[in-house]
Amino acid sequence: MPYGCWQGKVLFGKSVFRLCFVAEFYPRSLRPFGFTLCDAILQMLENIVLTEVAEKASILAEALPYIRRFAGKTIVIKYGGNAMTDALLKEEFAKDVVLLKLVGINPVVVHGGGPQINELLARVGKQGEFIQGMRVTDADTMDLVEMVLGGAVNKEIVSLINQHGGKAVGLTGKDGHFIRASKLYLKSETEQEIDIGQVGEIDSIDPALVSLLDKQDFIPVVAPIGVGKNGEAYNINADLVAGKLAETLGAEKLVMMTNTAGVLDKEGRLLTGLTTQKVEALFADGTIHGGMLPKINSALEAARNGVNSVHIIDGRVPHALLLEILTDAGVGTMILS
């Protein structure tokens, strides 16, 4: 069998091999194009492959200045949305985190788990309740929240990262009591306090444990559970934990993965390169509203308090993390301090 056709089978699959086979072995009187057709197709496909290889090499070269710039720096990643539920996106996220660590960047992952909590509540016949967007968390619900966030979800993320060559360690704020919290009360329209159970607000974060893991080349994976002064557990919004942890660690970046393209204007166009002043104006005119409010509030606080840049990125995009951190284009909104 001619070498060119065998190479075509290896590189480009069975369909091209069959086409080459016909071109080579059909009676010459019935194949007026002969070798020309086969060679032309192979040449075209080889050019496509070479172009793809060149593009990959270009991307690697593009990443070099970013790797140099962020080597030794800490990046806090709020992991949530579709990236936590889609099997392929979960695998790609784990690979991205491991790659960041291997090139000398220190990723710290903070994760949510709302859909998984809802699923478990439904399984045990318990109805989830929300007030002003916050989950009402009685003692029984808190037990389930700890099972999901500190158990199943946290350990799945740790396992995926470790499967791809990382050294991840799962934590909750109860470990070493490094996230201290107190009970959060909401306010009604009449300024009355609303008790929503074991939902907490952050009093302080001790960075020593996370910093120690970073220095030993581990990847901390943090579940957003805090601990009160009497040892009680508190469910805390993961965006708030990620933002406050980024501030406390003096992180270079805070990256928040969402199910949107980033911060959009009123016409639905992506906004990039925002300053804290521009974000405040977007709050004032109602551009930022609804479910994005707590996320952007946390991002804004981090940018005001020493985190050099905050990124709101679309976690539905494959390898969104690497695209945002290590390429010129990025895939979301950047808020500069």
Domain extent at residue 14: 3-49
One domain, residues 44 and 77: no
Give the separation between CA 215 and CA 72, rounded to whole angstroms.
10
One domain, residues 44 and 97: no
User: How many domains is the chain partitioned into structurally?
Assistant: 2
Is residue 57 in a domain? no
One domain, residues 196 and 284: yes
Which amino acid is residue 92, in one-letter code? E
**Rounded (10°) CA dihedral 297, 300, 304, 310:** 140
One domain, residues 44 and 94: no
Is residue 63 in a domain? no
One domain, residues 208 and 325: yes
> What's the gap between Cα 9 and its chain centre?
38
Helix (H, G, I), strand (E, B) or coil at 32: coil
Residue 221, domain CATH: 3.40.1160.10
Task: Report the sign of the C-alpha dihedral through residues 290, 272, 255, 262, in that order.
Answer: positive
Task: Report the sign of the C-alpha dihedral through residues 168, 171, 177, 181, in that order.
Answer: positive
**Cβ–Cβ under 8 Å, residues 332 and 320:** yes
Is residue 293 in a domain? yes
Give the pair of three-digit tokens for residue 333: 């909104």
pLDDT tens digits along 148-203? 999 999 999 999 999 999 999 999 999 999 999 999 998 887 788 989 999 999 99
Is residue 24 in a domain? yes
DSSP for 135-191? Answer: EPB-HHHHHHHIIIIIIIIHHHHHHHHHHTT--EEEEETTGGG-EEEEEEEEE-TTS
Is residue 58 in a domain? no
Per-residue confidence (pLDDT) for residue 39, from 0 to 100? 63
Give the pair of three-digit tokens for residue 134: 């916050």
Per-residue confidence (pLDDT) for residue 291, from 0 to 100? 66
pLDDT tens digits along 102-119? 999 999 999 999 889 999
Per-residue confidence (pLDDT) for residue 63, from 0 to 100? 84
Is residue 61 in a domain? no
Average pLDDT per run of 10 along the chain, which is 337 residues long? 41 46 47 54 67 67 89 95 87 95 96 91 87 86 94 96 97 96 88 90 96 95 96 94 96 92 81 81 78 80 90 90 86 82
Is residue 264 in a domain? yes
One domain, residues 20 and 136: no
One domain, residues 305 and 244: yes
One domain, residues 237 and 121: yes
Give the pair of three-digit tokens for residue 7: 């190479």
Instruction: Give this prediction's pTM.
Output: 0.81
One domain, residues 18 and 150: no
Is residue 45 in a domain? yes
Give the pair of three-digit tokens for residue 63: 């990443």
Per-residue confidence (pLDDT) for residue 337, from 0 to 100? 74
One domain, residues 175 and 295: yes
Per-residue confidence (pLDDT) for residue 5, from 0 to 100? 42
Per-residue confidence (pLDDT) for residue 189, from 0 to 100? 79
Per-residue confidence (pLDDT) for residue 51, from 0 to 100? 67
